[in-house]
Each structure stands twice: as structure tokens, then as C-alpha cells.
Amino acid sequence: MKETSKIKFFKGLSRVLLKPIFGPPWPFAVQRVWFKLMASATILPKGVTITAVKMASLNADLIHYKNALMAEKSAEKVVLYLHGGAYCICAPKTHRSLTTNLAKKTRAKVFVPDYRLAPEHTFPAGIDDCLASYQWLLSEGYRAHNISLAGDSAGGGLVMATAQRIRDLNIPQPCALVLISPWSDLTLSQLNKVNDKLDPLLRWSNLKAGVQAYLQGQNPSHPLASSALAELDNLPPMLIQVGSEEILLEDAHKLHKQAQRYQNDCTLSVYQDGWHVFQLQAGLLDMSDRAINEIDQFIEKCMSENISCHQITQ
């Protein structure tokens, strides 16, 4: 099947099987079950192993490819991956199509913590869990300069919040921040400006529900909730990947501009015809594989040298 046909197929699949269930009127319990059920059909790449581990008090996936566990901890490449789901749904299992391919390509240990979700646990509980996961990695002997923080959608928001907390606490910083379709503005400033019919997955209604459940009346402009409005100085280099057909496209641009404003090293890659977290189709779609390759190259570069802020259109 040609790439263009594959893109149409996966968009259509998302519109039929995911978008109608992702958000109201469905309760979060139903959404969680449905997304885990859909993830059960994931075909994992050969050579990848998934192990259940504890990161402090959190359950987590540890994903590695073949001999990636052979090095000493102080020399191992590590990715701490924070899954998306509007702060209310999804889990390490729902993102294995992405995280396993990321582990295979980067040859890194990929840790995916099962952080607490709203509405049972509100802001900043998830951020506290992600920070605790990072501190656990350091306590286990992994070196900060070999660790990258990565996440998609709300997980991208958690990456930025965790990075700010690490900076403010003077904890050794990770080498890179990887942000896939990041949700960086919980004020929903684009709500009445962008029609969500174009996006094959996201609806404004489910983002509104996510904000209400996660913040429960707290200020959406808080820097740990909306990183596009935060002070982004003295943070590790950032890679932002976003699709051209998603309602969070402007969030990615706003975050990129804010990083530039604070002179932070930041790369913005806009993938034409891409949709929200199309990287989940890694191993099946060339565009998704290119995005994973870009992440791998970015992490490698950040581990060895500084990069400058620029924008790439794919």
C-alpha cells in the first residue's frame, strides 16, 4: 500500500474507532477501557522486551531492545516517557506501539511510569509522580546527561512541567526534552478559532473535559499547567514534533516561540498531513518512522553537543 493510502487509512481508523469515544459524553472509565482494548491489537517490533518495574511507588514499563541492558547504568541511554491522554485516560500499555519502536530505534532503556490520572488525582499529582520517577532514575545510578524526557500530548505538558520543577529544585537536568504534539496551553486559547473537524483524533470537547477534571478550578495559566506561558530559561534542548492537521498545532508554535523568547535551544518539526500523535503508527507508516528517526538523532546530538534553535518543515 502506498504511503498516501496508508495515511488515509490510519486517519479514517482514528475517526471511526477513537475520536467518537475520546471525550464526552463517555465517562473516563469507559474511555480508559476502550483505549486499552484498542491497544491490545498492537504489533510489537521483534527483539523488544517489556518488563514491569517499580519507579519509587509507581508501576512502570521498562522497555528495551535486545542487548540494551548490557551497559553499566552510569553509561546507559535512558528515555523517561510520559504518555498522553488529556491527563485523564491512557496508560503505559496504550502507548506501546510508540514506546517499543522508540526503544528499538534509540537502543535506550525506555521507562514509562503509570502516573496518577484525573479526576481522581488533580493537578499537580501527575507532575509530582513524573518528578519522582526522574529522581528515582538518578537514585538508581543513571546519569542525568544520559536521560531524555519525552512525552506526547498531555505527556508533553508533563515533560515541560517536570523540566521546570527539576530546574527550580537545582536537580541535575536531563540532556533533552522531546515533545510530541504537546498540549502546552490549557487556557484553550484556540477553542473558538480552530474547527476540530480536521483533526482525526482530538475534539475541543474532550480537551475542555480534561482541563476541568485535571485543574478543577485552578488557574489554567499556571506555568506548570501551560508551559507556553511559562518562563523557559535554562532548560535542556527541546524537540517539538506536531502534525499539520491537529488542533494543537498552534500550541506547538506557541511553545516554540516561548522557548525562543527565553533563548532556549528548540527545534520545531511540522509534519505535513500528520495528525495528533501519528508516531503511534511507527513501524507501519513511513512518516511515523521518520519522526522516530528524528527523535533518535536529536537525542544523540543532545548527548554530545549543544544545538541551536531552528524550525524544520517536513
Helix (H) or strand (E) holding 180: strand 176-180
**Residue 101's closest CA among 150, 154, 38?**
150
Residue of 14, 97, 133, 153 with catalytic role: 153
Helix (H) or strand (E) holding 204: helix 204-215
Residues comprising the chain, all counted: 314
**Residue 44's closest CA among 4, 122, 98, 81?**
98
Contact 278, 291 (CB under 8 A): yes
Task: State the Cα–Cα distance between residues 183 and 192, nearest whole angstrom.
Answer: 17
Q: Is 246 a catalytic residue?
A: yes
Across 142-159, b (16+ Cβ under 10 Å) vs e yields: bbbebbbbbbbbbbbbbb
Residue of 76, 245, 246, 294 with catalytic role: 246
Residue of 64, 133, 276, 294 with catalytic role: 276
Catalytically active residues, by annotation: 153, 246, 276
